[in-house]
Chain A
């Protein structure tokens, strides 16, 4: 039987540990499963749409592109599952605690640090949030981007961390950061507790999902979904992998948490309506 094949992007060496472990677990549970690794999300999405892989463990931005590409071709596509931790995230725009910036509007004429060009949480979403406050990036304020791990859609935290460092160093006036990463950076000492002030937060949004298309074998897709959903945090064989992947349970894939990112992608011209990469400075 042909193995059900999933794509994953290697934003960190632990990705191999995680999917090697899941492969053993899924295979033992009766699913002929394999995975292939990609160095960035764009090729993974293209291979999913071309039918070279059956599923893609996608970033939210990769989901947007996959959906646009699929719909342009009339190919059914859906978010099969997502982690419980992929639901209801928020990004923040923070300033130094002693900053004279008191409101979002005070960012006019200032410099805002972001993560990499393709980071949903540290670039695309917070900039879209500021657009909705009638502030155009690059026009009403300067964007200072920290392009680390381009092509990894922000999974590599390097750019986001550098943006936070630039804020504390006084090189920029504000920085964009994911809620959980703000907490992480305070723990790391990158943003010492009390050193920043919260200016604004985005609406809640969703993060990664396991994307499948109608081209995949329906019974294997169903088996894959069933097994992922059956993974229990109480199972000591699978718990270390769940810990590494950062989840307690696999939940239903939902897509109504991507509206803000859809708008951001369109407004920034990152992809066009058919999923073609149109971002000028994007070189994964």
Chain B
């Protein structure tokens, strides 16, 4: 077979043609290359040497190439990293970062992913939720009406600032937990990794917009209670993927969805309304994955409900001596629902906050029932949930 490169230089495209010609041939096959570029012979010989081919130059200037074994040998023990549309039960560590379905050259690193069991990390809903999450991203610069003018009474503004301060520290915890978990998951489960990555990005955006709202009118941030931070620290301390997902997404964010709904309803200004409403939509998605993941697990692991119960009890025991919800936050919620300091307004505000807590409790019980807990046990466990909401 003769390949004539005409005036094409080896380094400007000739190499591709030679490679393409050789690629279709078995080792020991011979081709002849001709061309007019003065560097052709020099370059071709050097490239063949480095590529394991044998090049000889005839008296007429033609270069004869005998294909070597380098390429064939490199791929002789190659394997596919599964199939693109099939999620393996136990993807081996050496598949590593390769795309699902990629042809893997043998050798290379053997990273250890401690979350490598499909039944521990997977949820059938994950691909759909990921697509939904990717499509639901919003731009804080344009989705929030930052330029809408408003003026609030000083105390109401202070209540908003306090709530935003509280939301920020909760969102910080909600950011760190999925970010830490996703580094432990085998990349084969890319939809789950992607979902957790988007979840972390969602939380980063929430931290951003809540901070901006708190500082929007030029004041300072509110207070952070030791008990609130202790509650969040106990969330971060959970190393088990399933239990962390349960405590954060199902119970914590599940409770938070009601809080954000409450804030949307009682928001005294358009910026507060927008940031809480946007965050709520994201949080609902996080809850959906948490529940779907646990449903997938409970179908395969009969011990799961017992583990979930112990996780709630353990966290409750850790937090039993802490104050729970920051009093400043509780008061701020009440004042926001009241709208002003009139006694009847405060009384209404108090009822609204009581109702909020009842709604949160009902929501948790519903999720717990869906996971398989009997109603009485669901009610008992819901009552043990942290008074800090998240």
Query: Which residues of A line the B interface, CB within 8 A?
Result: 84-85, 87-90, 92, 178-180, 182-183, 186-187, 193-194, 197-198, 201, 232-234, 236-237, 239-240, 246, 248-249
Contact A179 B45 (CB under 8 A): yes
Contact B105 A236 (CB under 8 A): yes
Q: Which residues of A contact B43 (CB under 8 A)?
A: 179, 182-183
Query: Which residues of B line the A interface, CB within 8 A?
Result: 9-12, 38-39, 42-43, 45-47, 49-50, 52, 68-70, 73-74, 76-77, 105-108
Q: Nearest-CB distance from A9 to chain B (Å)?
A: 21
Q: Which residues of B contact A182 (CB under 8 A)?
A: 39, 42-43, 46
Contact B50 A246 (CB under 8 A): yes
Of chain B, the residue at the smallest CB distance from A181 is B46
Taking A87-B49, A234-B77, A248-B70 as contacts, is the C-beta distance between A183 and B106 under 8 angstroms? Answer: no
| CB-CB nearest 10 A-B residue pairs | A236-B107, A236-B106, A180-B46, A248-B52, A234-B73, A179-B46, A233-B73, A186-B11, A234-B76, A198-B38
Some 23 contacts from A to B, beta carbons below 8 A apart, are: A85-B50, A88-B49, A89-B46, A90-B46, A92-B42, A179-B43, A180-B49, A182-B39, A183-B10, A187-B11, A193-B11, A193-B12, A198-B39, A233-B52, A233-B74, A234-B74, A236-B106, A236-B107, A239-B107, A240-B107, A240-B108, A248-B73, A249-B52
Contact A232 B73 (CB under 8 A): yes
From B49, B74, B105, A89 is in contact (CB under 8 Å) with: B49
From B39, B50, B69, B73, A180 is in contact (CB under 8 Å) with: B50
Q: Nearest-CB distance from A198 to chain B (Å)?
A: 5
A90 and B47 alpha carbons, distance in the complex (Å):
12
A249 and B49 alpha carbons, distance in the complex (Å):
11
Q: Which residues of B contact A187 (CB under 8 A)?
A: 11
Contact B46 A248 (CB under 8 A): no
Of chain B, the residue at the smallest CB distance from A85 is B49
Contact A198 B107 (CB under 8 A): no
Q: Which residues of B contact A249 (CB under 8 A)?
A: 52
Q: Which residues of B contact A90 (CB under 8 A)?
A: 42, 45-46
Q: Nearest-CB distance from A253 to chain B (Å)?
A: 17
Q: Nearest-CB distance from B337 to chain A (Å)?
A: 65
Of chain B, the residue at the smallest CB distance from A180 is B46
Contact A248 B69 (CB under 8 A): yes
Q: Nearest-CB distance from B227 to chain A (Å)?
A: 53
A84 and B43 alpha carbons, distance in the complex (Å):
17
Q: Which residues of B contact A248 (CB under 8 A)?
A: 52, 68-70, 73
Q: Which residues of A contact B106 (CB under 8 A)?
A: 236
Q: Which residues of B contact A193 (CB under 8 A)?
A: 9, 11-12
A198 and B42 alpha carbons, distance in the complex (Å):
9
Taking A85-B50, A246-B50 as contacts, is the C-beta distance between A194 and B42 under 8 angstroms? Answer: no
Q: Which residues of A contact B50 (CB under 8 A)?
A: 85, 180, 246
A187 and B50 alpha carbons, distance in the complex (Å):
15
Contact A233 B45 (CB under 8 A): no
Q: Nearest-CB distance from B73 to chain A (Å)?
A: 4
A90 and B46 alpha carbons, distance in the complex (Å):
8
Residue among B46, B52, B68 facing the most chain A CB atoms (10 A cut-off): B46
Taking A182-B39, A193-B9 as contacts, is the C-beta distance between A233 and B46 under 8 angstroms? Answer: no
Of chain B, the residue at the smallest CB distance from A192 is B11
Contact A183 B49 (CB under 8 A): no
Of chain A, the residue at the smallest CB distance from B42 is A179
Q: Nearest-CB distance from B174 to chain A (Å)?
A: 41
Of chain B, the residue at the smallest CB distance from A177 is B42
Q: Which residues of A contact B11 (CB under 8 A)?
A: 183, 186-187, 193
Contact B38 A197 (CB under 8 A): yes
Q: Nearest-CB distance from A192 to chain B (Å)?
A: 10
Q: Which residues of A contact B68 (CB under 8 A)?
A: 248
Of chain B, the residue at the smallest CB distance from A207 is B49
Contact A233 B69 (CB under 8 A): yes
Taking A179-B42, A182-B39 as contacts, is the C-beta distance between A237 and B107 under 8 angstroms? Answer: yes
A237 and B107 alpha carbons, distance in the complex (Å):
6
Q: Which residues of B contact A92 (CB under 8 A)?
A: 42
Q: Which residues of B contact A89 (CB under 8 A)?
A: 46, 49
A233 and B68 alpha carbons, distance in the complex (Å):
11
Known: A179-B42, A236-B108. 6 other contacts (CB 8 A): A90-B42, A182-B43, A183-B42, A232-B73, A248-B68, A248-B69
Q: Nearest-CB distance from A119 to chain B (Å)?
A: 17
Q: Which residues of B contact A180 (CB under 8 A)?
A: 46-47, 49-50
